[in-house]
Amino acid sequence: MPVDSVIENDAPQPAGIVEQLVRDDSDRKRFLKMAGSAGAASFGAFVLAACGSSSSSSSSTAAAPAATTASSSANTNDIGILNYALTLEYLETAFYAKVIEAKLFGGAAGALLKTFGAQEAQHVAALKAAVTSLGGTPVAKPESKFPITTAAATAELAYTVENLGASAYLGQAPLIQSKQVLASALAIHTIEARHAASIGTLVKKSVTPDGGFAKPADMSEVLAAVKPFLA
């Protein structure tokens, strides 16, 4: 799938909650406090509210039987996690698009990075479809900026970005309610890790930076790490 086909959005979408949280420290602190005190369901509810869920849908959920409400809560949580992942995948896709545009890499390395960019675009398409299938609205693509300068510095940044992506998925895995969503998230997580390992060989860094067991990254770590990349 061409990168450009996913980077462009044909229809207006709601502002991304991750972008909002990254830009506003007070929102981020409020969000993290809510997530910690009220658990995963509140995390999803907060995300959907910020993404513009309608009051009518909220009232219908409140009137639903207990079993339906529980199912809706699980879906809401998973939609929130999927939209969080989608925002990160937007950034990764934009990063590779800018790397390719800069033409800093040729030969096997250039071809590899183009492949990675196309795969990140596939992740975007899959996550958008997953959010929609659960009745949610995919978040909008944030504006991004990346310091694409020399080939060496860009390869180092790619290593950082891919490792962050893998850690972010791992950090959300315990909060996912649906087995199908978890399987999909892990399928993407393993590709992010393989990307990171492959780039690690290019920059002569460890392909297993955390040793025998990968370390998850929580929301606050990821938000702080991606903040410099938002325009």
Instruction: Give 169-185 pLDDT, tens digit per residue.
Output: 999 999 999 999 999 99
pLDDT confidence tier of residue 84, bands split at 50, 70 and 90: very high
The residue with greater pLDDT, 62 or 197, is: 197
Domain 3-229 carries which CATH code? 1.20.1260.10
Delimit the domains of the chain by residue range. Answer: 3-229
Q: Cα–Cα distance between 223 and 28 in angstroms, integer?
A: 8
Contact between 13 and 142 under an 8 Å Cβ cutoff? The reply is: no
- The H or E element that residue 142 is part of is none
Please state the rounded mean pLDDT for residues 105-117.
Answer: 96
Report residue 67 CA to chain centroid gap.
Answer: 30
Q: How far is CA 229 from CA 35, 87, 147, 165, 189, in A?
A: 24, 12, 8, 14, 21
103 φ/ψ angles, rounded to the nearest 5 degrees: 55, 45
Q: Return the pLDDT at 22.
A: 56
Q: Return the pLDDT at 52.
A: 35
Beta strands in the chain (DSSP E): none
- Please name which of 144, 133, 157 lies closest in space to residue 93, comparing C-alpha atoms: 144
Q: Nearest-5° angle of CA 223, CA 126, CA 168?
A: 25
Whether 129 has a pLDDT exceeding 50, the answer reads yes
Structure tokens at 169: 């998925």
Please state the rounded mean pLDDT for residues 88-97.
Answer: 97
Enter the pTM of the model: 0.71
Q: Where are the alpha helices (DSSP H) in 151-229?
A: 151-172, 179-202, 219-226
Q: Cα–Cα distance between 228 and 90 in angstroms, integer?
A: 15
Q: Cα–Cα distance between 100 and 169 in angstroms, integer?
A: 25
Q: Which of 5-19, 22-36, 50-64, 144-158 has the lowest mean pLDDT?
A: 50-64
10 φ/ψ angles, rounded to the nearest 5 degrees: -80, -30
The residue with greater pLDDT, 13 or 188, is: 188
Supply the Cα-derived Rg of the chain in whole angstroms. 18
The residue with greater pLDDT, 113 or 24, is: 113
User: Which residue's structure tokens are 């949580």?
Assistant: 77
- Please name which of 135, 210, 134 lies closest in space to residue 170, comparing C-alpha atoms: 210
